[in-house]
Structure 1
Amino acid sequence: MKQSYNNTYILGISFISALGGYLFGFDFAVISGALPFLQQQFGLDAYWEGFATGSLALGAIIGCLVAGTMADKYGRKKGLLLAAAIFGISSLAMALAPARDFFIAFRLVAGIGVGMASMLSPMYIAEVAPAHLRGRMVAINQLTVVTGILVTNLVNYTLRNNGPDAWRWMFGLGIIPSLLFFAGALWLPESPRWLVKVGRSEEAGIILEKIGNAKDALGIIERSMNEKLNVGPAFNKAVLPAVFIGIILAIFQQLCGINVVFNYTPRIFQSIGVSQDGQLLQTVFIGGVNLVFTLLAMVLVDKLGRKPLMLIGAGGLAILYIIVVRMLAAGSANVSWFLLAAIGTYAMSLAPVTWVLISEIFPNKIRSAATSIAVLSLWAAYFVLVFTFPILFERLKDSTFYIYAVICVLGFIFIWRNVQETKGKTLEELEDVIVRH
């Protein structure tokens, strides 16, 4: 008999938990529009420009560590509520920052919320969504990330002529989505898989009944939790290959280089003589393309599959970066088209699918710990990327993108050889395929 699901309920809880992704997108994108103002306000050189941008990642590393422990001890829902509170407090603090160091300190605090949400939102969705919908539901998190980026870029562009303190409004407006996320998270049910893990199977059964996959699901989850897999810590021999793949994919998603286009759009276009208005307008175009191709990814991820999309992303970016180098060297404004193509390629492949894979490939018993390690690695790689780009771009100029092209080629080879297709399988089936085989 075909199992029926409460798709409206599943979509609702997925969207609400994914609001953490919107705030992730906000904090990720707001710095791009604010940097020209921050440079004037605080006199930032290349080093401090990179550190002010990258401090978000340092906080996100802390957030991943906090989230992993909290998610195991207190549940996924409480972690999402704490992340929402941190987002709101840090947004106000950055808006009121009297000095550079105060601003950077609270951008780091904002990163703690980003790190928590970036780990907990996709993990929570993966644990509540049925197998046939899981790819699309987890991709909703990436959809809210790119929506946050686009809306923030539009707001930044609108505020660009509001004087030297325009950046304060850019950051302060983050309080609005923070409050919405907090209110929504209060309504969320706890993850049924976490409830089973802590011995609250009856509550898990009630939630599974609402989701619509209660038939046999509770028993399968209980058996998965009770099996003597002897995984111990996340780096136990039995699960090391899955953890290793998760870490490499997370690092590659950042070191592929595309986020320098998001974070340093003004600097890149300034190098070919585009005005400040034009620079900020490019961030809006980038946000729009990012959103459209993320929607495409949501259609393809459960049809075409995870591995083909990852290969398209890695290979496509390597080719586009080589073209971008030539265009920047020639000072051609047409480079915009190829940067937008790179954004679109990333948005329908590496950006959402990496999060989907990270949420899928770890066994139930260690999912929060292993996810924490993978996402921590992602944020460490993001810090390296955005901290080094202003320095590299000062010295190497357009040739900096050759470095990212080489990384994309290496990523393509790794994905081809090591990543298994995961579409259409339950988390428990994947545990059997990935860990035991």
Structure 2
Amino acid sequence: MEHEQFITKNTASGPNSTTKTEPFVKVIAIISTLGGLLFGYDTGVISGALLFMGKELHLTPFTTGLVTSSLLFGAAFGALAAGHLADSAGRKKIIILLAIIFAVGAAGTAMAPDVNWMIFFRLVLGLAVGGAAATVPVYIAEIAPANRRGQLVTMQELMIVIGQMLAYITNATFHEIWGGDTTWRWMLAIATIPAIMLWFGMMFMPDTPRWYAMKGRFAEARRILERTRAKEDVEWELTEIEETIEENRHKGKGKLRDLATPWLAKLFFLGIGIATIQQLTGVNTIMYYAPTVLKMSGLSTDAALFATIANGVISVLMTFVGIWMLGRIGRRPLVLIGQIGCTACLFLIGLVCMLPEFHANGGVNLVRCYMILAGMLLFLSFQQGALSPVTWLLLSEIFPTRMRGICMGGAVFSLWIANFIISMAFPLLLAYFGLAGAFFIFGVIGIGGGIFVIRCIPETRGRSLEQIEHYFYAKYNSSAKVKGLLNTIEKRKV
């Protein structure tokens, strides 16, 4: 089939369909995004647990950084492994396996007798977190109807921030009710509950129609489409999937060496850029170290833990705003709003941190403390309301079907490596440059991220996954014939 015939075919359904989302799709999204909830909880809970585990585990500044960042290091390799295995074994089976790893990791960290075991089980937990980050958005993107893909995929981001909010609330509540040096163990152990729920729920969920089609199981692909699409959309989407699969059949199963193909290499590096700039804003220095930063600004432990709950609440509320905005404006404008807003907030926080720490009478300058908190909340409004939801959505959309798992794994690997480096470096930045200097450094990096967004981020709204694949094939291919195809796509986008 010629690309031109594929792209210019006009349909009444598909990306511009006005049909409602089938209830079963919503159930699938809720169950699978429990992986996002665990992702958020396990990355957020450490911010409060660190305040209490230090004495029992004899933590030093270096081992504190290792406990925090070991999960992120494990997540990088979990993303690579899950991305590769999801293409061969299926998205569903990998998520079930990840649920088991989540439960083992949560139980292990809760019972860790010393810092070495804590770091080991945080690495195990990281494998599940990274795997979920690479697999769940792909699973939802492939099973969601094109006209609702944006909203459903960003449910993953919503569940991540809900998980982080629950972690902050749990930290403050456990400390308030029980207190004591062993409270941190209960903070970590409670994550086993959603892990079991994820495992049980995914046992009853299907795999995606695109994965079934990629394996030549078209009857099963049709059956899933019939359960997840309006009747008038089934034939259109199945035909589009079959045609794209057939075009790629002679290429065989996606392999790492396929990334040597120039247009795929360009697309892969675009994905790495999208993943990395989301971390280079420094968002997780706020999510992981917020209580530490607020204590450095002058708040008590109790006040810092309670104030951190506001970070979780604003993240959840603004993610709802981001989901709403995705239905009304494109991906590219939302990324640009988020990147510029986050960068401006980093400079704002840095300026506030330069205010006097104490009053003339020697008391703590609480105005400065709460201005820093307000700056964090404004930063999270841009991050969670614009930048983060679109990041996961773009990563789930831009890669071709036969390479989606491998490319997604590689892009999310780069995201977690950036997260790991930043989380390890942040305590050192605080020690050497202070609060203001640390945030100014991230602000300067944010300017570079803004240039990348302006020059490189594409618009994928209003296209099916197959149409996006053809768009990038045309955009990154150097031949004159294919460049002519790109003009056709832009003029006749469905």
TM-score higher than 0.5: yes
**CA shift at 1:235, angstroms?**
4.0
* Residue 78 (structure 1) aligned with residue 93 (structure 2): yes
* Offset at residue 216 of structure 1 (A): 2.1
**What SS does structure 2 have at the residue aligned with 1:238?**
helix
Asked if 2 retains the 8 angstrom alpha-carbon contact of 1:64 and 1:115, the reply is yes
Secondary structure (helix, strand or coil) at the match of 1:69 reads helix
Quote how far apart the aligned CAs of 1:45 are: 2.2
Partner letter of residue 110 of structure 1? Answer: L
Post-superposition offset of 1:435? 2.1
Q: Which structure is larger by alpha-carbon Rg, 1 or 2? A: 2
Whether contact under 8 Å (2:209, 2:222) holds in the other structure is: yes
8 Å CA contact retained: 1:127, 1:192: yes
* Separation (CA, whole Å) in 2 of partners of 1:130 and 1:54: 36
In 1, the alpha carbon distance for the partners of 2:260 and 2:82 equals 18
Question: Secondary structure of 1:187's match?
Answer: coil
Report the identity percentage: 35
1:336 alignment counterpart: 373
- Residue of 198, 202, 212 corresponding to 1:185: 202
Q: 2:333 aligns with which of 295, 301, 308?
A: 308
Cα distance, 1:357 vs. partner? Answer: 0.3
CA contact (8 A) 2:80 2:412 kept: no
- Higher mean alpha-carbon deviation, 237-246 vs 117-126, is at 237-246
Q: Which residue in the other structure is 1:233 paired with?
A: 258
Aligned twin of 2:31: 16
Q: Which residue of 2 aligns with 1:385?
A: 422
2:343 to 307, 311, 318: 318
Question: Post-superposition shift, 1:170?
Answer: 0.3
Give the 3-state SS of the residue equivalent to 2:328 in structure 1. Answer: coil
TM-score, scaled to structure 2: 0.86
CA RMSD of aligned residues (A): 1.4
Supply the distance in 2 between the matched residues of 1:218 and 1:16 (Cα, whole angstroms): 24
Aligned-pair CA distance for 1:43: 2.5
Report the equivalent of 2:455. Answer: 417
Alignment-derived partner of residue 175 in structure 1: 192
Match of 2:130 in 1: 115
What is the distance in 2 between the residues matched to 1:164 and 1:367?
A: 45
Gaps in structure 1 of 5+ consecutive residues: none
SS in structure 2 at match of 1:37: helix
SS of 1:44's equivalent?
coil
Shift of 1:6: 4.6
Matches within 5 A, 1:209-248: 209-212=226-229, 213-228=233-248, 233-248=258-273
Correspondence 1:269 to 2:284 = no
What residue ranges of structure 2 are gaps of 5+ in the alignment? 1-11, 358-367, 476-494
Q: Does 1:291 align with 2:319?
A: no
Deviation of 1:5 (Å):
5.2
Alignment match, 1:35: 50
Using the alignment, how far apart are the partners of 2:426 and 2:56 within structure 1?
A: 21
TM-score by length of 1: 0.97
Q: Distance between the aligned counterparts of 1:409 and 1:7, measured in 2?
A: 42
Whether the 8 Å CA contact 2:430–2:438 is kept in 1: the answer is yes
- Between 1:24-33 and 1:214-223, the stretch displaced more is 214-223
